[in-house]
């Protein structure tokens, strides 16, 4: 058994790609439009995972996020009960500052220097984890309250 991807349904493909690629920094690695099924699949990888293999199989890529966009409008509920996506970052404070500057709400600030949460346009929680040891608590993050749910 080999882990391949996590699929999340999105309601606005452009807004989702803006969030995941332009703000979070993921890279689109593959796209598939299915006219008969009336859907588009977009596969995204973390920059360090682009072109790497998963499970030692040189023909496959590391695990990805699959955005599924159904062309016919649907109402999705319960994005929170999906759980969350998690990404390791080199500098939790710099990453959160960059996201905040791009208009992303930091729902759970990295008060502990280790973990933060943000949400996608479809309310999918995204956990950001500091690579290595936690950073020393620092302002403005150390005293920043949670906003909304995460």
Active site residues: 127
In this structure, how many other beta carbons lie within 10 angstroms of the beta carbon of residue 73?
A: 6
Angle at CA 16, nearest 5°, toward 78 and 55?
85
Give the burial string for 25-56 (b: 16+ CB within 10 Å, else e). Answer: ebbeeeeeeeeeeeebbbbbbbeebeeeeeee
């Amino acid at each position: 058994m080999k882990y391949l991807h996590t699929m999340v349904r999105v309601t606005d493909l452009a807004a989702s790609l803006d969030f995941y690629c332009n703000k979070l920094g993921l890279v689109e690695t593959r796209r598939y439009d299915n006219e008969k099924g009336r859907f588009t699949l977009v596969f995204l990888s973390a920059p360090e995972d682009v072109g790497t293999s998963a499970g030692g199989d040189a023909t496959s890529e590391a695990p990805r996020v699959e955005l599924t966009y159904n062309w016919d409008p649907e109402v999705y509920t319960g994005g929170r009960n999906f759980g969350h996506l998690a990404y390791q970052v080199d500098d939790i404070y710099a990453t959160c500052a960059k996201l905040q500057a791009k208009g992303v709400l930091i729902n759970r600030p990295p008060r502990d220097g280790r973990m933060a949460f943000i949400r996608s346009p479809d309310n999918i929680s995204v956990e950001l984890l500091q690579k290595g040891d936690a950073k020393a608590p620092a302002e403005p993050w150390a005293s920043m309250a949670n906003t909304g749910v995460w």
